[in-house]
Amino acid sequence: MARKFFSIVIVLLAIVFWFSSAANQSTMHPTYIQPVKVTYNADVKPIIVSKCAPCHLDEGNEVSYDNYASAKQDIDDIIRSIKLNPGQHGYMPAKNPKLSDSLIHVFEQWKTDSLLEK
């Protein structure tokens, strides 16, 4: 009987030791992943080039957003316009399908991330 009790105590101690060492490892060396910030050059400009052409490119007839300064300056208007539904006044991209929520989110996240250029 004592031998069985002793075996159970040893197993329980081993389990407690294993859980406490696993918990200590995660708190001793926490993993921190720097969130990737949305930038104009890497994320926003490619959308403008593919979805807002030719009207909002340098050779277009409208305001050009293929440069950082003008896109940054008009970000609130851009977000407002791309969130509208087709048929609503000011909807963009005019005469084209509505941008997906994920593409709209890129513009919103760019603003949240402080409108970084690079």
Q: What confidence tens digit (pLDDT) does each residue in 10-41 have?
A: 777 778 777 766 555 555 566 778 788 999 99
Asked if 116 and 110 count as a contact pair (C-beta separation under 8 A), the reply is: yes
pTM of the model: 0.71
Asked if 40 and 68 count as a contact pair (C-beta separation under 8 A), the reply is: yes
Alpha helices in 29-100 (DSSP H): 45-51, 68-73, 75-83
Q: What is the pLDDT of residue 95?
A: 87
Q: What is the pLDDT of residue 60?
A: 67
Q: What confidence tens digit (pLDDT) does each residue in 73-105 have?
A: 999 999 999 999 999 999 999 989 999 999 999
Question: What is the C-alpha to C-alpha distance for residues 55 and 65, in angstroms, rounded to an integer?
Answer: 9
